[in-house]
Each structure stands twice: as structure tokens, then as C-alpha cells.
Structure 1
Amino acid sequence: MDTLNVFQCPEVTVKRFLLAKFQGAIARGGTIGEIPLNRGKNSVRVVYVSAIALKLAKNWQQTPQAIAAQLVETLQPLCWPDFTVKALSAGTIELELTDAGLALWLQRLAQIALPVPEYRILSAVVSADRLFPIQYSHARCCSLLRMAHRDRLISIANPDVTTAPQIWSLAAPNPIPWIDGGVVRLIDRAECNLISQLLTVLDNLSPIWEAENREKPIDHLKLANTLSQAFQTFYSQCRIWGEVKTETPKLAQSRLGLVLATQSLLRFILEELLNAIAPIEL
């Protein structure tokens, strides 16, 4: 069985990772069509819920609860230690990203460039005033990263670029210290909201990496604006310098990891999907 974790797997998004695991878990019943899988609304916990057992009940001639129990037993070793899996009373299946899995996923977002889609539908030309908030957030990310490099909070392999790179590669710390005693350091509401938006934006962009779904309309500008707004809230509420830098430098580095992940995704949307410039300064 495929036991690759979220950092090693070829799937770009958390949702696609889980859908691949579901496909591996369902070993009978023939073609089942689309697997229902949706993110929970909780911005603190990264939870996905699937009603696949209800969909399979008629063909499998079992109760949804019995099917859910069987699928959970198969999914648990496929998803651990990245996800916990449990069956709910209604026959739905809940999968929650663990702190270890979240750290791996954040590291991937921060340090592995997103693949350029083979098929992509560029958005219509967007006016400069509508792009500016997104470009400003991207430039702010770049400014913070360069400042952190100068202050030796982090070490960027090539900080003196003139155009936004696909990824700002870290020489140190590597990996980013997301975890403290088995628990993710980033627990502030603004941090959790930014993490949630990063994963949500990627989940919504997933069709661009799937040739069979490439015609599905995606509002790239709306996704970028939502992420930009979450970043601005994070930037205003979560300090990196001052007492945080001197007293809890690993927390500062983890917050810079979020900046890295945000910059990478904003650059991708601006340059690859909106056909716009991702400035490193304004």
C-alpha cells in the first residue's frame, strides 16, 4: 500500500492527498464516481468530512455505519501519522490533520515550489487597483524575509534576487521549527486563520493540476484577495521582531515560515494564473 506522507506524496493539496487515500481504501464496488469530501468550517482544526459511506450503502448493501467502520480501519494506517481518522455516528468519516502532519505540510508549502500546471486558464485582465492589495502583500512578504535574513533570524540561500523566485530557499533553519514538544507553535487565531486560508486556497486551486477538470472555473482573484487579507491580519497581530525575536526565536522563525508559504502561493497566483507581476518591493 502507498504510505507516503504529505511531504513525500505527489499530490499538491491536502484534499487531493486524502482523495488518493480514499481511492486506495475502496477496493471493491467498481466505479464510485466523485468521492464527497469537504473541509470543516473550524479555522483552528484542519478537519475534512466525507459521506462516502452513505453513497456506498446501496451498492454494498450494508449500513453506512458499518461501511464507515470498515473504511476507517483501512484508512487509519494509510493516513497515520498525518491524519487521525474516525467514524461519526451518522456514518460519516472525519479526518483531522495532526500537528505532525500540519508541520510537514507547512514545510512543503514553504520550501517546495508549486508545479506549473500543464493546462491553465488565465484570468481575464485585472485592473491595477484590484491587483495592488495582493501585490502589496507579496512585496511585504519579500521585505520581511529579506529583513529576517539580514537580522540572522533565517538564512536565505539567494536573498539578493531582483524578481520573485518560485521559492525562497532556506539554508537555515531547515526544517523550520514548526513543532514544540509535539505541538505546533502557531496557535494564535490570526496564525490559525492564515494556515486555514493557505490550505483552502490550495484545495480550491486543485483542478488546475488535473487535466480532466481544467475547464472548471476558478476565481483566482478572489482566492488571492482572501489569502492577502488573512496575511495582513496575521502581520498586524503576530510580531516577529522585538521581544519575540529575542525571547522566542523559534516562534519568530515559525512565523517567518508562514510568510514564506504565503509569498510562494501569492507569487504563484499572480504570475501563473493572473498573468501579473509579483513585485519584491513597492
Structure 2
Amino acid sequence: MNYPGYSLRLWLLQEIARLVPLPTETISLYLLKYHPSIIYRSRVLSQLTQDDPGAIAFALVHGWNYPNVEIELTANFALDFKVGDRLVALWLEKVYHSTLNNFSVFSSSSVFKILPQFFPLQYSHARCCAWLRQLHQQGVITNNGSIPSLEPYAVALIELLPCLNPKDKDLLLSLVAFCDSSPENLLSSSNNLALAVLNFERYEGIWRNKPNLIGVRALLLILAQSNLQYLLETQLLVGAPREL
């Protein structure tokens, strides 16, 4: 995990480890791609060859005390953990508030060297900043990144998350994947995030569909901008331009 401390996968791993006799770092758990919901799949049952998979599955399902995460046993004895909207809303609120201390899309942009190998990341970051400045001009966000229409955040997000369109959900899923990233797949998840940012505006638009979702989309953009800035400046040690 690279982005400071907000991995849904790590939280799930810790909870699964309470119910199975395996160290957290050895438990199989991965985020499903190309799915409209946030679902993690685990093949932990196949890792417990000395035990009865059916009994372990029963213990997991009936020992699970988190109503915001549903467990389903697949036909090939994998376990799917579907993260509900309430937990996603709480996660979004937590990550969002962690970004506000470094919210800086309005400060003057230094001259950065644009590197071909990182251009998609730098370009997506600059586009996030441009969209956020436009949202600020429209009164959707304040100077410090607050979003008045979403207060109280968790309550509003729980109501609005079911209304997201496919490109909104793609961006959300990419943000979740980025926060889950390990060092070996950080660049891959970052490129996916950059692509999701561009598709988010290109195909659906931030403002055109369902005006009541503008606040949620602003929040997703703030998280994308913060993640991309963190990656470029802290991990890749290159500039994060605010405009191109």
C-alpha cells in the first residue's frame, strides 16, 4: 500500500485473518476488474488444504460481523467480498479529508519538464486541476477543497453512490485500486487511474448528466488529483503540472 493508510484491501485482509489460521500477508485477496461494484475475491479456502473448505466457508460467512460487506461463495470455492455503499461512503469521506491539507490546485504552477514516459500521468493531473478550478468558479468547491453540497459527507454519499454512471464507477474503482497498490503494481494502477480520469470527463462529463451528482464528481476528482500528485512528486520524483 502506497497512498498513506487508506486501503480497503488491507482492512479486509485484517478481518479475514481473524477468522482463518493464516498470516495476513499470505491470504489471497484481489480486487475484481471490470465490475460495477467493489468486489474482492479470495481463494483462501484453497490455501487451507488441510481443512474442510466447506467448514471454513461456513465459519467465515457466519463469523463475519460487517453488514456493509456481503460474502458469497462461488462455484469454485472462491469467496467474493462485496463492499456496500455505506462502507464505500465512509472510506471516501476518510480519504477525502486526508487530502485537504495539501489541496493546492489554485496555486501558481511552476515550469515542469514533461517526460514522455509519464505524460499521461502529468496530463491527467493537469486536467484534474483545470476541472477543479472550473468547479470552484461555479461554487461547487471552496478555496480549501470543501464541497458544501455534500455536507454531511457520509450521509450524502450513501444516498448518491447508487446514482453513479459507469464512468463515475470506473474512476471510483481506479481510486480504490490505487490506494490498494503495492510497489510492484503502483505504476500499472496509476496508468489505469489516469485513463479513468480522462474517460470520466470525455464520455460522461462532469456537469451534463444529473446535476445532483456534481458534488460527488468533484470529490472523485479531488481524490484523483491528490493521488496523481502524490505519485508524480513522491514516487516518480517528477513535476505534477497544474496546467499544460
Which residue in the other structure is 2:217 paired with? 255
Q: For residue 223 of structure 1, give the secondary structure of its aligned residue in structure 2.
A: helix
Q: For residue 48 of structure 1, give the secondary structure of its aligned residue in structure 2.
A: strand
Letter in 2 for 1:260: I
Q: CA deviation at 1:32?
A: 7.9
User: Match for 2:135 among 136, 145, 148?
Assistant: 148
Letter in 2 for 1:201: F
How has the CA–CA distance of structure 1 residues 22 and 274 changed in structure 2, closer, same or farther, with 3 Å as cutoff?
Answer: same
Cα deviation digits, residues 2-49 of structure 1 (max 9, x gap): xxxxxxxx95211111101111223xx475860111222333121111
Cα deviation digits, residues 206-243 of structure 1 (max 9, x gap): x5xxxxxxxxx4452x43222111110111122233x5
In 1, Cα distance between the equivalents of 2:49 and 2:186?
35
Letter in 2 for 1:156: N
In 1, Cα distance between the equivalents of 2:120 and 2:222?
18
Does the 8 A contact of 2:147 with 2:215 survive in 1?
A: no
Letter in 1 for 2:47: K
Letter in 2 for 1:92: A
Does the 8 A contact of 1:133 with 1:228 survive in 2?
A: yes
Which residue in the other structure is 1:119 paired with? none
User: Match for 1:103 among 89, 98, 123?
Assistant: 89
Q: For residue 88 of structure 2, give the secondary structure of its aligned residue in structure 1.
A: helix
**Larger helix proportion of the pair:** 2
Percentage identity across paired residues of the two chains: 27
For structure 2, the residue ranges without an aligned partner over 5 or more in a row are: 101-112
Q: Aligned pair 1:228/2:194, yes or no?
A: yes
In 2, Cα distance between the equivalents of 1:139 and 1:38?
30
Most deviating of 192-201 and 257-266: 192-201
Letter in 1 for 2:211: P
Cα deviation digits, residues 113-142 of structure 1 (max 9, x gap): 39xxxxxxxxxxx97122222112111111
Which residues in structure 2 correspond to 1:1-282 (within 5 Å)? 11-26=5-20, 29=21, 34-58=26-50, 60=51, 63-75=52-64, 77=65, 79-81=66-68, 83-113=69-99, 128-157=115-144, 169-170=145-146, 172=148, 173-174=150-151, 175=153, 177-180=156-159, 183-186=161-164, 188-205=165-182, 217-218=184-185, 220=187, 222-241=188-207, 244=209, 248-282=210-244
Most deviating of 227-236 and 39-48: 39-48
How has the CA–CA distance of structure 1 residues 145 and 80 changed in structure 2, closer, same or farther, with 3 Å as cutoff?
Answer: same
What TM-score do the two structures reach when normalised by structure 1?
0.71
Does the 8 A contact of 2:13 with 2:24 survive in 1?
A: no
Q: For residue 140 of structure 2, give the secondary structure of its aligned residue in structure 1.
A: coil
In 2, Cα distance between the equivalents of 1:139 and 1:149?
15
In 2, Cα distance between the equivalents of 1:273 and 1:104?
27
In 2, Cα distance between the equivalents of 1:131 and 1:34?
33
In 2, Cα distance between the equivalents of 1:184 and 1:45?
10
In 2, Cα distance between the equivalents of 1:277 and 1:67?
49
Q: For residue 179 of structure 1, give the secondary structure of its aligned residue in structure 2.
A: helix
In 2, Cα distance between the equivalents of 1:112 and 1:184?
24
In 1, Cα distance between the equivalents of 2:83 and 2:199?
24
What TM-score do the two structures reach when normalised by structure 2?
0.81
Q: For residue 81 of structure 2, give the secondary structure of its aligned residue in structure 1.
A: strand
For structure 1, the residue ranges without an aligned partner over 5 or more in a row are: 1-9, 115-125, 158-168, 208-216
Does the 8 A contact of 1:153 with 1:253 survive in 2?
A: yes
In 2, Cα distance between the equivalents of 1:104 and 1:32?
23
RMSD value, Cα = 2.6
